[in-house]
């Protein structure tokens, strides 16, 4: 991976942390995570894998998030935040993780 791709990825992680902070989540990038195979932004209960690319491989990246999740205390749900060039941020989660959130009696939706 070249320097520009690493810079784009790090910028995406910072941008995602800023979005989480707007909704009251104290999010920080997990520095050194690429070397250690960890997630990009652990913010319990979610372990965020952040991708800022022209194209994404959703299942490959979700597998990466799922593998990293147990490494962070309090993180139980792998999640993927993705943004393609000139597009808005999207969130990808496993249906088994998100359906209880959407349809619980306490859901805001």
DSSP state of 94: -
User: Tens digit of pLDDT for each residue in 78-92?
Assistant: 999 999 988 999 999
The residue among 43, 9, 10 whose CA lies nearest residue 26 is 43
Report yes or no on 41 lying in a domain. Answer: yes
Mean pLDDT of the chain: 88
C-alpha 38/C-alpha 40 separation (Å) is 7
Q: Report the CATH number that the domain containing residue 31 is assigned in CATH.
A: 3.40.1350.10
Report yes or no on 108 lying in a domain. Answer: no
User: Tens digit of pLDDT for each residue in 18-67?
Assistant: 999 999 999 999 876 555 566 899 999 999 999 998 887 899 999 999 99
Query: CA quadruple 36, 40, 42, 46: dihedral positive or negative?
Result: negative
Beta pairing partners, 87: none
Report yes or no on 83 lying in a domain. Answer: yes
Report yes or no on 34 lying in a domain. Answer: yes
Give the domain range for residue 92. Answer: 3-103
Report yes or no on 80 lying in a domain. Answer: yes
User: First vs last Cα of the chain: how many Å apart?
Assistant: 40
Task: Return the pLDDT at 60.
Answer: 93
C-alpha 69/C-alpha 78 separation (Å) is 6
| Number of compact structural domains in the chain | 1
Report yes or no on 109 lying in a domain. Answer: no
pTM over 0.85: no
Query: How many CB atoms within 10 Å of residue 53?
Result: 15
């Amino acid at each position: 991976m070249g320097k520009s791709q690493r810079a784009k990825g790090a910028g995406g992680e910072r941008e995602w942390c800023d979005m989480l902070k707007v909704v009251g989540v104290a999010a920080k990038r997990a520095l050194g995570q690429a070397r250690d195979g960890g997630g990009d932004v652990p913010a319990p209960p979610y372990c965020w894998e952040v991708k800022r690319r022209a194209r994404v491989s959703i299942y490959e990246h979700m597998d990466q998030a799922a593998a990293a999740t147990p490494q962070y205390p309090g993180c139980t749900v792998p999640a993927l935040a993705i943004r393609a060039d000139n597009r808005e941020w999207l969130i990808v989660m496993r249906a088994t993780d998100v359906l209880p959130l959407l349809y619980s009696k306490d859901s805001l939706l």
